[in-house]
Structure 1
Amino acid sequence: MTEKLFYTDPKVFEWDAEVTGAAFHDGLWHVTLDKTAFYPEGGGQPCDLGTIAGKEVIHVMKKGEEVVHIVKEKPEGTRVHCQIDKIRRLVHTQHHSGQHLLAAVCLKMYGAKTLSIHLSMNSAAIELDVPALSDEQLENIEKEVNRLILSGRRIRIFYINRAEAGRYDLDEIPEGIERLRIVEIEGVEYNACGGTHVGSTSEIGPLKILKTERVRGHVRLHFICGIRLFEDYKEKLSLLADILEKLSTAQDTVLQKIEKIKKELKEKEQKYNALFDEYAELLTDRFIAEQKGPTAGKIFPDKTVKELSVISHKLLQKGMKAAVLGTILENKIILSQNGDLAIDCGKIIKQHAPAFSGKGGGTPVKAQAQFPDSEKLNEFFRFVTGHLGN
């Protein structure tokens, strides 16, 4: 059985160990040690990475009571020096303790129970059993979490037998485990958990809620804290500096500058649309004169789908019964008809585009399809125009 240093001291990042096993599976070595600080993937927390005798550890997993380290090259010798990626561990640890605190506050303040968690190097998330949280509620949650972080509440880990679980206010008790590992945030909650944790809430660092999204009728709440929050701040500060330089403006006037640019772009777009409408009138007149049947078909090298939509609308207005227009620029096709034909444009796209690696859909009178390249676009164009008898 592997001695799990990540449980006894989560701040061990470097140590020596004896190799107790090394097996070759599917091109990789599965190595076991007599003791390890490598946390195996589980409970929503990613595994640690690092090196064993200088050989890169690419994954760590638990197998029974053993911790298995996956490496590309077999470590030399039986006595090995091990190191884990310290920053990766600290980020995951801060996120894990931050997740516990955030989940406890969501439950206490608004009765929102955590259904699942996800931790990574970039961010962390919890899924709550409520359909929505207002901006005011999110602000209140964030304020309370950071108040508890600044208060430096002790985070204590201890073990109990399953029979003792009733003495603690545990939200959930894992099945099939007799000896429970309890994580206590002083004055906040008790939680049965096997992850790594900091020693006090102050070590979590400031926590910021990034966004929420709807998932399966629930709220998924994304956040970052500690080291990752600091890194995110540096990244955004650098991005802001680049934006200010490119816009030749100061931070306190950047919003006004952006609004001015948006207004100018909107005005230019309106002028362009008016000019394109005039151009489309001339184009469709010439286009119709070249057609020999009731269906107009053409592939353009540089038009957008929006422009094709204008052209197809004018073609139908001027007497064409159907239009098949494609664009190499976006590898898309618009199929439309004036309602006189006994065809369903949406069904044609749905049923036949996949045979040409395309996808799309629409209504009986107008539909659109996307293709991976111009070759497939042209193949489908020939099929549809042939199908419509043009």
Structure 2
Amino acid sequence: MRELFYYQDSMMKQFKANVVRTGIDGERPFIVLSNTAFYPTGGGQPHDTGYIDDLRVVDVEKIGDEIFHYIEGNFDCLNDEVTGILDWDRRYDHMQQHCGQHILTAAFVELLNIPTVSFHLGSELVTIDLATEQLTDEQLALVEKRANEIILENRPIETKWITKEELPNFPLRKDVSVDEDIRLVIIPDYDYNGCGGTHPTSTGQVSTIKIMGTEKMKKNIRVSFVCGNRVLKQLAMRKSVLSDVARQLSVPEETAATALKKVLNDVKATEKALEEAQNHLLEYEAKELVANSVNNIVACTFENRTVQTLQKLGRAVVSQHSELICLFVANNEDKLQFIAARGADVKKSMKEISTAILPLINGKGGGNDGFVQGGGEKVLSAQELLKEMKQNI
């Protein structure tokens, strides 16, 4: 493994090698080379992409002792010797993020004695899961500051192949998971870690680290962060969003958060006032419906009224008279919805009504003896469903 180009020189962008064999894996054509700078997926780091001659390399995997380069196109056109060219922006980004993870993880151990239990290098963000249930903003700020100090010092990043017997000679951050081909990635006097990934040659090439957020993951805390060029991309995205918000609020960017908070408070106050007004209107509507009741039954159909509104209106109706029964049906877009409610002195169970009418509309519902609601398909009209409800009283 140590003879592979991506281990000999992680900064290699182009190389020549011989074609060992070609084949089809499922429906995916692949090439095996005598050596390669294309890194295969592994250790939390995604695979490289690029070209072998004119063929696009779309995936790279280590299968057994071979590196499979999955390609687009027909490998029959290849000569014995080929040229590999890496998508360098992708590779360098992965090296920045992976090295940044080592630095950040080591900072959590150094300052807080919190180990990392898993690592994921995504296309937008990088995450590490930490073996802790709580992190404060102050702790995150201290760790981020320490990580960026290590980057600014531009310490060398060394790699070393050792045997299992040599492991006790190094202050490893965690135990290695292999017994052979043990490769250490070392930031002298800071981090010693078994790793098979690719890294730049110095910490300064990581450029910078920025923690983006945290979230609870069972008994761990997941920390999201970005390094290097991704920091600039995140900054540009957030600058664009902030500028747009500030422009819509007609305020300077530095006061956008305060202005937005005021707008949201105003919206909540308006929504509360609107809800109170709507409740008053429902009270007036309920009084009118009660005035037009027949034999202590208030029965009515509506167009496009939510079941929540029907519930409020139904409760307002039966609260005005203890002997009333209220039956409402609403014709709403793709379904019928209904409620049935009774006053305090009515003995009839409303559940009997819903049990009788739900099969008619292939519907579902719920409630109790005093109040039920439900809905179903438009196999009947709203008026026909209301008629069925009235017949069950």
Q: TM-score, normalised by structure 1?
A: 0.79
Task: Tell me if structure 2 keeps the 8 A contact 1:280–1:311.
Answer: no
Name 1:313's counterpart in structure 2: 312
- 2:124 matched residue in structure 1: 122
Q: Name 1:207's counterpart in structure 2.
A: 209
Higher Cα radius of gyration: 2
Deviation of 1:213 after TM superposition, in Å, equals: 0.7
Aligned to 2:71: 71
CA distance in 2, matches of 1:53, 1:143: 44
Give the 5 Å matches for 1:236-315.
236-281=238-283, 301=304, 308-315=307-314
Deviations 1:91-149 (A, max 9, x none): 11111111111111111221211111000221101111111111111111111111111
User: 1:149-205: per-residue Cα shift (whole Å, max 9, x none)?
Assistant: 111222111110111111112243444431200011121121010011111221111
2:329–2:339 contact (8 Å) kept in structure 1: yes
AA partner of residue 311 (structure 2):
S
Identify unmatched segments of 5+ residues in structure 2. Answer: 319-324
Query: Is the CA contact (8 Å cut-off) linking 1:15 and 1:82 kept in structure 2?
Result: yes
Map of 2:101 onto structure 1 = 99
TM-superposed deviation, 1:11: 1.3
- Corresponding residue of 1:18: 18
Q: Is 2:183 the counterpart of 1:181? A: yes
Bigger drift between 72-81 and 99-108 goes to 72-81
Distance of 1:264 and 1:309 partners within structure 2 = 24
Supply the distance in 1 between the matched residues of 2:200 and 2:372 (Cα, whole angstroms): 56
Q: Distance in 1 between matches of 2:389 and 2:42?
A: 55
Report the Cα offset of residue 38 of structure 1: 1.4
**Residues 136 and 2 of structure 1: CA distance in aligned 2, closer, same or farther (over 3 Å):** closer
Contact 1:2-1:66 at 8 Å conserved across structures: no
Deviation (angstroms), 1:83: 2.0
Structure 1 residue 333: deviation in Å?
7.2
Structure 2 partner of 1:56:
56
Deviation at 1:262, TM superposition (A): 2.2
Distance 1:139 1:332 in 2: 55
Number of aligned residues: 368
Moved more, 21-30 or 177-186: 21-30
Task: Confirm or deny: 8 A CA contact 1:312 1:325 kept in the other structure.
Answer: no
Distance in 2 separating the partners of 1:80 and 1:123 = 34
1:182, 1:170 → 2: CA distance? Answer: 9
- The one-character-per-residue Cα deviations of 1:27-68 (angstroms, maximum 9, x if unpaired) are 221221122211111111111122222322222111122111
Following the alignment from structure 2 to structure 1, what is the Cα–Cα distance between the partners of residues 371 and 336? Answer: 13
The Cα shift of 1:249 comes to: 2.4
Q: Please name the residue that 1:46 is paired with.
A: 46
**Could you tell me the TM-score, scaled by structure 2's length?**
0.78
What is the CA–CA distance in structure 1 between the aligned matches of 2:214 and 2:247, rounded to whole Å?
Answer: 31
